Structure 1
Amino acid sequence: MSRVKVNGLPNNKMDLCYEALNGSCGKYVRLYSVHIPMLIAVMLITFVTVIGNLLVIISIGHFKQLHTPTNQLILSLALCDFLLGLFVMPLSAARSIQGCWYFGDFLCKLHTCIDITLSTASIFHLVSVSAERCCAVCCPLTYHSCIGFPTVLVMLSTSWLIPAIFAYVITFFELNLQGGKDFYETHVRCVGGCHVFFSHGPAVVTSLVSFYIPGFVIIGIYSRIYMVAQKQARSISHQLNQLRKCYSSRSTRRQAQKATITIAIVVGVFLVCWTPFFLCNILNPFIGYATPPMLIDALVWLGYVNSTLNPFIYAFMYSWFRKAVRIIVTGEIFQHNSSRKPLYL
């Protein structure tokens, strides 16, 4: 960035993050008509992400009726989104608004590590949820023997530990710079910056591990679920004469199908939100890092929006979530035995 524009006019003297230091990063200078809406937008996204996912966490954690294997996975996913909104988004907002990082190199690495951990953990959770839904739809008779809380605990441990270890090794051992450290030191590194830089090989490996491989696994699982569900629907259509006898089991099946559709929407939203960033991440080293930093920031925030939208998906699809939120907001949650209130019949 050789020139910046102040109030829409070119300015040959760049505004710097640290005016008194040599090698300082350049500061973003925007019109107030752009700066203020952008500030409001990132603050709103952060606030809604924290509050929305906190409501999901309280709902599933408090009400006994919601303590199911599927909901435990959703609870952990909501915790992941909540932590992203609480610890990652505020610092990312400060960096995105000004283009400067004033919190030191160690906190930059820690922030990057937590960001990669939570983003990767999200899709690992979705792989676990997809596998659980596949078992529920494809093997309903053996579901309870296969998917119990011990199995869910293994899924959750895997979904958290692997991303955390992967992110720590990539960030603190600087494996992301392998093969491109000279370019990073010469053309990217500056005082007051916190750049998430990946050279060619690490960009491919990171994108594959964090997004593409688990993404294709999820798509494969849901393709299998769709085919089995279609087959079951055709079978059920031949048994309508047993409607009364089968009402209870059909009601249970409808709940399972609704849960599957909801998780499919969650997965779809995740892929739509994160695909542009990971596509850019894997291509950027091969096009000479020509992608503008502001565009990368915008794609990162599009990915963050996924964490904002998940609670709204639950609210739209699940009446139990809407009822739980009403109980929480009105203070009924503090009443005696409120944890045993029926949220659905």
Structure 2
Amino acid sequence: IHPGTSQNLHFCYESSNKSCPQHIYSMAVRVPLYIFFAAAILFTVFGNLLVIIAIAHFKQLHTPTNFLVLSLAIADFLLGAIIMPPSIVRSLETCWYLGNLFCKFHNSTSVTLSTASIVNLSFISIDRYYAVCQPLQYQRKITNCVTLVMILIGWSLSVLTGFGMIFLELNIWGIKDFYYENVECVGGCFLFQSFASSFTSTTVSFYIPGFIMIGIYRKIFLIAKRQARSIHTSGYHNENSERSKTQRKMERKSTKTLAIVMGVFLSCSSPIFLCNIIDPVIGYSTPPLLLETLAWIGFLNSAFNPLIYAFFYSWFRKAFITIIFCKIYHPNSSGTNLFTN
């Protein structure tokens, strides 16, 4: 129950004796929050749409790394377009008016997109490992075909995880009676999980991939540092070595940028995943306001990624400008050289 409802109790559906309680925020609170969340949705949707169009349109960006970035941008775009709008109403009106079936679809899609993000970031870390640590094998092992298979596997597993867990009610396995008797109410839409479900899904789909990614990036940066020191010590320069040096510099910059993307994702998502494990242990006593706040911190990560790309990648900035000013409709615009100064 939301704080303050005991004194002035309202319900989502006054006619139902199983209605969820409703906390009514003042207009002074709701209006600024609606504006803030609407702006966050616009940044998320249009920012990631720019990334999607840029990678799909410009031939120079058709690389295995960027196809993985494209898959990540699609997950972020769908989150902004499908999950965030109804979540605004649920968070600020503290009721769900879209029905039980759409609630299940909403929760399933949310879990699917969250899982897809972590899977895509895991594949990106593998791509960066081969690009920096094994550059001679990179083009042979990480091809566009291999990347496509990785993306298809990642999305398939994510859909099975999200929709399978919710529609098969694996999230309340072992506590169904408790859930239907004490938790379920009309006008509510939240992802309720048993400790076993929460611990298993969070560990497998977030913490294990997260620690693996951190380990991979740590190894990448140690090897990249060693390579840079070796090149500096040798002092050998020719045209090929200079070209190779430029290529390695670009790969390191790309790796650094994508490591920041991963770091931001883990920073934004860790609080809600940690709360998901703790909440069943403390008897589901976490304040709803805190749960909503942590969920929105996780959602806002999807708005940050396009800003990171634009800040670190000059070619993405050029692509964005070309798209915004509709220059992509010019003849042969897909062949534009984005890497010239």
**TM-score normalised by structure 1 residue count:** 0.96
Matched residues in 2 for 1:319 and 1:151: separation? 27
Q: Residue 334 of structure 1 aligns with which residue?
A: 329
- How far is the alpha carbon of 1:165 from its aligned partner? 0.4
Q: Which amino acid aligns with 2:191?
A: V
| Aligned partner of 1:266 among 258, 261, 269 | 261
- How far is the alpha carbon of 1:199 from its aligned partner? 0.8
Contact 1:25 1:191 in 2 (8 A): yes
Contact 1:77 1:122 in 2 (8 A): yes
- How far is the alpha carbon of 1:13 from its aligned partner? 4.1
- How far is the alpha carbon of 1:129 from its aligned partner? 0.3
- How far is the alpha carbon of 1:280 from its aligned partner? 0.2
- Check if 1:299 corresponds to 2:298: no
Q: Residue 324 of structure 1 aligns with which residue?
A: 319
Matched residues in 2 for 1:220 and 1:154: separation? 24
Secondary structure, aligned partner of 2:126: helix
Cα deviation code 1:191-244 (max 9, x no counterpart): 111121001100101111221111111111111112211210111111334165
Q: Residue 136 of structure 1 aligns with which residue?
A: 131
Contact 2:2 2:288 in 1 (8 A): no
Change over 3 Å in CA distance of 1:196–1:238 after alignment to 2: same
- How far is the alpha carbon of 1:294 from its aligned partner? 1.2
Cα deviation code 1:37-88 (max 9, x no counterpart): 1111111111110000000000010001110110010011101100111111
- How far is the alpha carbon of 1:32 from its aligned partner? 2.0
Q: Which amino acid aligns with 2:325?
A: T
Which deviates further from its counterpart, 40-49 or 110-119?
Answer: 40-49
- Check if 1:115 corresponds to 2:99: no
Q: Residue 237 of structure 2 aligns with which residue?
A: 242
Residue pairs, 1:1-345, within 5 angstroms = 1=1, 4=4, 12-242=7-237, 246-345=241-340
Matched residues in 2 for 1:93 and 1:206: separation? 25
Q: Which amino acid aligns with 2:104?
A: K
Matched residues in 2 for 1:125 and 1:78: separation? 10
Matched residues in 2 for 1:250 and 1:185: separation? 62
- How far is the alpha carbon of 1:166 from its aligned partner? 1.0
Between 1 and 2, higher relative CO (CA 8 Å, sep ≥ 6) is seen in: 2
- How far is the alpha carbon of 1:131 from its aligned partner? 0.2
- How far is the alpha carbon of 1:290 from its aligned partner? 1.1
Matched residues in 1 for 2:197 and 2:338: separation? 47
Q: Over aligned residues, Cα RMSD in angstroms?
A: 1.4
Change over 3 Å in CA distance of 1:232–1:3 after alignment to 2: closer
- How far is the alpha carbon of 1:4 from its aligned partner? 3.2
Contact 1:199 1:285 in 2 (8 A): yes
Matched residues in 1 for 2:74 and 2:229: separation? 38
Secondary structure, aligned partner of 1:111: helix
Matched residues in 1 for 2:221 and 2:69: separation? 21
Matched residues in 2 for 1:242 and 1:46: separation? 50
Matched residues in 2 for 1:216 and 1:270: separation? 13
Cα deviation code 1:114-170 (max 9, x no counterpart): 000001100000000000000111110111001101110121012111111011111
Structure 2 unaligned spans of 5+: none
Matched residues in 2 for 1:27 and 1:239: separation? 70
Matched residues in 1 for 2:60 and 2:300: separation? 29
Q: Residue 8 of structure 1 aligns with which residue?
A: none
Matched residues in 1 for 2:51 and 2:211: separation? 27
- How far is the alpha carbon of 1:308 from its aligned partner? 0.5
Matched residues in 1 for 2:88 and 2:311: separation? 28
